[in-house]
Structure 1
Amino acid sequence: MKYLFIVLLTFFLAVGFHSCSSDIDINAPWTDITVVYGLLNQNDSIHYIKVNKAFLGDASAYEMAAISDSVNYKNIDVYLYKINTSNGGHDTVKTYIFKDTVMDKESGTFATDNNIIYYNTEALITSSESNNIEDYTFALKIYIPQYDKNVTASTKLISKLLVSRPNSYQPTITLKGISDYSVEWTSTEGAKLYQLILGFHYYELTATDTTEHYLEYPTSTKISQTDLGGEDMKQTINGGTFFQYLASNIEANPNIKRIVKEECLDFIFFVGSTDLNTYIEVSSPSNGIVQEKPAYSNINGGIGIFSSRFNKSIAGKELDQRTIDSLAISPLTNGLNFENYANTLNFWATINVGN
């Protein structure tokens, strides 16, 4: 579900590699360049920081990128400091020590073996601090003993997201045919980047088994005009487009009957900071005649991005009767064998009795 994370990582690798090739004078004395990637989210149970080094050598860049020793440091220290800046103060209230681990990585240009990443599992915000998240700044410090070098960055967390639609007064959602459903929220301070993912739960029934399934429908990214907060924003979901997505991502099989789960819809919001939005905008390909774009980094003593993101879910919304009947008979989805509303109600009653 972490679409923003994945998209940014793609941009990060691209701009990091580009910076190494175009901004470094190959005839200049060797210089260590640290590349940092990290996004803090107080809702995450594990916090990750990726630290690599840019490289120069006699071999081709692609050959060197495939060697883990070309991109990894050895024996570095990664710290995160929580600083209370309320009332003009600058008090460090907690220090987080990050440990290193090796994570699996998909094959590609960069080395897949010894893919080192740094992590910490401690909570960024306690329950007593949750109403005053804006009082805290998180400062990253990476110490590289080999070069007696400090790399630093800092970020605020994104504190909240106010969603006005859907709400508790609207138990069912209409998404049939050409109808549109408008999801509405208010932008939050310190953020500019917003993406909604619609999660869809359903059952598959065969002659011998009943299994629950889940599919995510990503919507386009929305960008607020400012990062001051208070801006009314919305994302429109078209029923026909949603049906088409289901048809394209669920396999039609005459031997499988499908039934919508009673609380079948999850509205999942991902929010990105102003720095994150700037990084993505600067790193994306240019559509104009001038292809060269300025690099963006908020890392002191290195390059990359250290910022914040936030996620919020409104789970368990129901589709209304008209939408469930439309799923069963629409030319877009009738090949998926979704049951009509009457049969769906009967199945729900059976499931509820079993529970």
Structure 2
Amino acid sequence: MKTRALLFFCLSFIFLACDDEIDVFSDDPNLPVVYGVLNSKDSVHYVRITRTFRGEGNNLEYAKIPDSSYTQITNVKLEALSGSSVRATYTGNMVELAPKKEGDFFTEPNFAYEFQIPELDKYSEYRLSFDHAGNEVMAQATIPSKPSFVNVATFSVVNNDITTGNQPFYGNLIFDYNTASKGKLYLLSFVFRYTEFYQDGSSEEKELVMDLSEFPSQNISGGDKIRYRLNGLSFLSRLAALIKPDPNVKSRLVGNGTVILTSVAEELFIYQQATSGTGGVSQSNLNYTNVYIDNGETGLGIFEGASTIEATRDFSNFSVKAIIFSEQTAGLKFCTDRQSILSDNPSAACD
């Protein structure tokens, strides 16, 4: 009988918000399962440690019982490495996180091991170790150097004033960046912020995340110069597709935007390729892992590093007008509080 474990994986590295479920299989009903991504942008890091399980009857029903996945482990620690030397040691504290989304597996309790490391990128290698079922389990993460943006300017969706009757002259959101050492995959996304005002007088700040590109670098030494263009028409069309008209919304105040770039280390890239079945990786590699047991066996899951940088900018006045009045987004009730726009366009004010 094959045993079953659940891993949560998301390339956005938002550990508490992973939606994708990956089934991994093993003949051993008590293998350690590790999931952890150390990101240099964070000062608090979480590593989830569970185990495979096997039960009689319906495995999905069995999986809803917390004891089926959590197991007693001891001596959970992280060691910062410089070559073969240990430079610092951090002890993991078990904490309960917010419940996961409803699904086949239990949603709470949701335990993980917490490590507080304010300057993660001070060292580039970290070794996780813990005792499980009489054996020591280890995994090692590489922290890529931080990539860098080049001249992120004010976000310009259009380059002319569409409120004067002119046809829009669409611009490009241009993101230039330099790759960094030990980074294999580069994930680019854009966050659009706005505030919704409701008919009952309440309001809520919102964020809309657009995944833009995934670039696997052939040069993990870094130094490559990469450019990504998001056309203004495409940007407005995405807003129209992702934000739906709502009769409870009176207006939506246009906010700013943030471009986010994450550099992923090589083991995590390989793991993602293997578990997703993409990139020419065979199905036999579905259980790819860098989790090792001192008895010569392997565990399951992945423990690796990433580095994220962000740049926040305002939209140009022409762009704010386009978001409010363009053919694509005019029905979404966008508005502004910028006096430089309202002086000539009073209808752009929020109700």
Q: TM-score, normalised by structure 1?
A: 0.78
1:222 corresponds to 2:219? no
Kindly indicate whether the alpha-carbon contact (under 8 Å) linking 1:324 and 1:341 is maintained by their aligned counterparts in 2. Answer: no
Match of 1:94 among 88, 93, 108: 88
Q: Does 1:303 pair with 2:300?
A: yes
Query: What's 2:100 paired with?
Result: 105
1:256 partner letter: K
For 1:101, the aligned partner's letter is V
Q: Which residue type is aligned with residue 84 of structure 1?
A: S
SS in structure 2 opposite 1:174? coil
Distance 1:252 1:118, change over 3 A: same
* Cα offsets for 1:199-250 (capped at 9, x unmatched): 2233455786776543322223222123221112222212122112222333
In 2, distance between residues paired with 1:337 and 1:112?
37
Distance 1:331 1:106, change over 3 A: same
Assess, with a 3 A threshold, how the Cα gap between structure 1 residues 300 and 292 changes in structure 2: closer, same or farther. closer
2:240 matches 1:247? yes
Q: Does structure 2 retain, via aligned residues, the 8 Å contact 1:165–1:182?
A: no
Residue 95 (structure 2) pairs with residue 122 (structure 1): no
Counterpart of 2:219, as a letter, is T
Change (3 A) 1:288 1:195: closer
CA contact (8 A) 1:200 1:216 kept: yes
Amino acid at match of 2:157: L
Preserved contact between residue 92 and residue 115 of structure 2 (Cα < 8 Å): yes
Structure 1 residue 48, shift from structure 2 partner? 0.7
> Do the aligned partners of 1:217 and 1:242 also contact (CA within 8 Å) in 2?
no
**Contact 1:272-1:308 within 8 A present in 2 as well:** yes
Give the distance between the partners of 1:288 and 1:278, measured in 2 at CA. Answer: 11
Give how far 1:339 is off: 4.2
CA distances 1:127-161 after superposition (whole Å, capped 9, x unpaired): xxx6xx4x5421110112xx211100112212211
Q: Tell me the SS of whatever aligns to 1:308.
A: strand
Instruction: Quote the residue 2:227 is aligned against.
Output: 234
Who is 1:350 aligned against? none
Taking the aligned partners of 1:68 and 1:192, their CA distance within structure 2 comes to: 35
C-alpha change, 1:322 and 1:341, in structure 2 (3 Å) is farther
Which structure features the higher share of strand residues?
Answer: 2
Cα gap change, 1:205 to 1:4, in 2 (>3 Å): closer
Counterparts in 2 of 1:292 and 1:154: CA distance versus 1, 3 Å: closer
- d(CA) in 2 for partners of 1:206 and 1:19? 48
Matched with 1:27 is none
**Which residue does 1:67 correspond to in 2?**
65
2:213 is paired with a residue whose SS is coil
1:270 paired to 2:262: yes
The alignment of Structure 1 onto Structure 2 pairs a total of residues equal to: 315
Cα displacement (A) at 1:294: 5.0
State the alpha-carbon separation in 2 of the partners of residues 258 and 106 from structure 1.
28
Q: Distance in 1 between matches of 2:32 and 2:115?
A: 20
Equivalent-residue separation in structure 2 for 1:306 and 1:68 (angstroms): 22
Shift of 1:52: 1.0
2:330 to 317, 322, 334: 334
1:175-214 equivalences in 2 (<5 Å): 175-176=157-158, 178-204=170-196, 212-214=205-207
CA deviation vs aligned residue, 1:313-338 (integer Å, no higher than 9, x gap): 111x1222332222233210111233
Give TM-score, length-normalised by structure 2. 0.78
- Relative to structure 1, is the Cα distance of residues 156 and 267 closer, same or farther in structure 2, using a 3 angstrom cutoff? same
Who is 1:352 aligned against? none
| Structure 1: unaligned runs, 5 residues or longer | 25-29, 348-355
Whole-Å separation in 2 of the counterparts to 1:160 and 1:19? 35
Q: Which amino acid aligns with 1:308?
A: G
Residue 137 (structure 1) aligns with:
125
The one-letter amino acid of 2:155's match is I
Correspondence 1:13-32 to 2 at 5 A = 13-14=21-22, 17-20=23-26, 24=27, 32=30
Q: How much is the aligned-residue C-alpha RMSD, in angstroms? A: 3.1
Name the aligned partner's letter for residue 321 of structure 1: N
1:252 and 1:140, CA in 2 relative to 1: closer, same or farther beyond 3 A? same
SS at match of 1:278: helix
Identify the residue that residue 351 of structure 1 maps to in structure 2: none
Aligned to 2:4: none
Amino acid at match of 2:114: Y
Offset, 1:175: 1.4
Q: In structure 2, the residue corresponding to 1:194 is in which secondary structure?
A: strand
CA distance in 2, matches of 1:272, 1:102: 26
Query: Mean Cα displacement is larger for which, 56-65 or 184-193?
Result: 56-65
- Could you report, residue by residue, the CA deviation over 1:287-346 in whole angstroms, capped at 9, with x for unpaired residues? 98975545311111212111001111111x122233222223321011123348986644
Task: Give % identity.
Answer: 24
2:316 is equivalent to residue 320 of structure 1: yes
The C-alpha deviation readout for 1:49-73, integer Å capped at 9, x for no partner, is: 1111112233332232222112111
Query: Which amino acid is 1:108 matched to?
Result: G
